[in-house]
Structure 1
């Protein structure tokens, strides 16, 4: 029998949740997705050592700031990854801009221009933004310019509905972080069919397919392969290397759980800014996890900047 991973690939596009070059080469995902945490790890890998040293030295000679050098390194990693996958590389906008639409758009345009200078077309890139109201508005502008966006840190149907209205190319609803929040509050683990994270992504998938919404649903943030298998059939799933390896080693029959044909017929909702903010505020889990996620992405970005500052000082 084929491995569970091979079976999953027959019904879902598999994305690698890593910036590890060796893992991407071995696991052969369609896309790879990054965030500041993954970029920070990637820049500490031997595969990027020469590129990091070269770019930091060039940045120092040109009088660039640590922030400017960080952007160059992020694009440099993205260029390397773009050569390894047939699909796209997600590149994240600075988390500190999550509540500034204009600044997010400007940063995204600069990233796309930097990729173009290195021979990577925008069709190989997703610009990754936090699913705040401002981030969604930035994505709407960028989509209108032909730049596809991946809206991340998505924890609730309200965020998904707003992304659909904005014509976003792809969303990354989180599974594990939702489950973590509910497990901590209720003091228990969940069987997969009652797992709040799994149920959230199923609801969003159902909503999109019920309403003919073309935005790609890419489940993210998995804690175990049970959660992955419970979303088999989702448009895409971004999975960490250790879970991909578990799926590759397993040889059991995998059932397709999600199909457009089984959509329940959920009615479409349209949210203005006030309604969006109210619905998000009413969901304690989504409010807390969105805020926490932005803080954590920024914390890793600050670590990256500090590391660059130390390298510049060391000469």
Structure 2
């Protein structure tokens, strides 16, 4: 019998949740995803030292204010690391827009188009890129426009059903519900058994998956932010799962059978299509303390790591 990672690859598209080239080379996922936190870790690896210097040199040539040069440095590094990863994987790389733009639709659009242009300057087509945007109302509005331009988006930091509904209504290519961070919140606030199918993050993704498939949405569901392999097993069959190398290694060590938990042909939902309005979105987020707190926390943390990445580039 093959190990559970190999079994999972037969059911679900595996995405590497890392910027570490060596880990990607080892596990050979279809896609990969990065964010400021992962880029910060990757930028400290000796392998990427030349890319840091290249980013500084390129930004210096572009000129502009110090803030513009910092933006150019971090964007250049993100695109160059993404370009290297694309030499290894057959699929797509997700590259994130600066989290500090999460509530600014126009600025998000501008940065997304810039990133696509930089990839195309590296002779990489937009069909291999997902622009990663926080699933705020403003971010989802930007994704709606970008998708119409042929720029596919990964809506991240997704914690609520309302966010998922809005993303599907906007025609987003892919969403990243954060399974483990949902579990973190409930473990902090409730004393209950959250193992297996009782995991609230697993339940959230399962509800979204069934809603999408039952109602004929094309938006891809990619479970993310896993805390343990049980969560991964409970979502076997989901469109995509983005998994950290440590958890992929754990799955490699297990040879037990892996059961299918999600399948489009079996999807059922009592919830019909919902063209959610801004007022409805904001009210539903307001009523969901977990989603509101985790979304805000995620944006703050990504923004903080973006600043650390800028400081690393300045000091390199």
Please give the TM-score of this superposition, normalised by the length of structure 2.
Answer: 0.96
Counterpart of 1:39 in structure 2 is 39
Which deviations, in whole Å up to 9, do the C-alpha atoms of 1:22-74 show, x marking residues without a partner? Answer: 00000000000011000111111122112222332343455462221111111
Cα distance in structure 2, aligned partners of 1:11 and 1:63: 48
Instruction: Map 1:179-198; keep pairs closer than 5 Å.
Output: 179-188=183-192, 190-198=194-202
SS in 2 for 1:269: coil
Matched, 1:151 2:143: no
The answer on whether the counterparts of 2:161 and 2:208 sit within 8 Å (CA) in structure 1 is yes
The answer on whether the counterparts of 1:12 and 1:236 sit within 8 Å (CA) in structure 2 is yes
Matched, 1:283 2:288: yes
Cα distance in structure 2, aligned partners of 1:159 and 1:209: 16
State the shift of 1:189 in Å.
Answer: 5.2
Instruction: Map 1:134-283; keep pairs closer than 5 Å.
Output: 134-188=138-192, 190-266=194-270, 267-283=272-288
Counterpart of 2:57 in structure 1 is 57
Cα distance in structure 2, aligned partners of 1:207 and 1:43: 39
Gaps of 5+ in 1: none
Cα distance in structure 2, aligned partners of 1:218 and 1:59: 33
Gaps of 5+ in 2: none
Report how many residues are paired. Answer: 311
State the shift of 1:309 in Å.
Answer: 2.2
The answer on whether the counterparts of 1:183 and 1:189 sit within 8 Å (CA) in structure 2 is no
SS in 1 for 2:299: helix
Which deviations, in whole Å up to 9, do the C-alpha atoms of 1:129-179 show, x marking residues without a partner? Answer: 000000000000000000000000000111000001100000001100000
CA RMSD of aligned residues (A): 1.2
SS in 1 for 2:157: strand
The answer on whether the counterparts of 1:30 and 1:88 sit within 8 Å (CA) in structure 2 is yes
The answer on whether the counterparts of 1:24 and 1:84 sit within 8 Å (CA) in structure 2 is yes
Counterpart of 1:96 in structure 2 is 100
SS in 2 for 1:168: coil
State the shift of 1:186 in Å.
Answer: 1.3
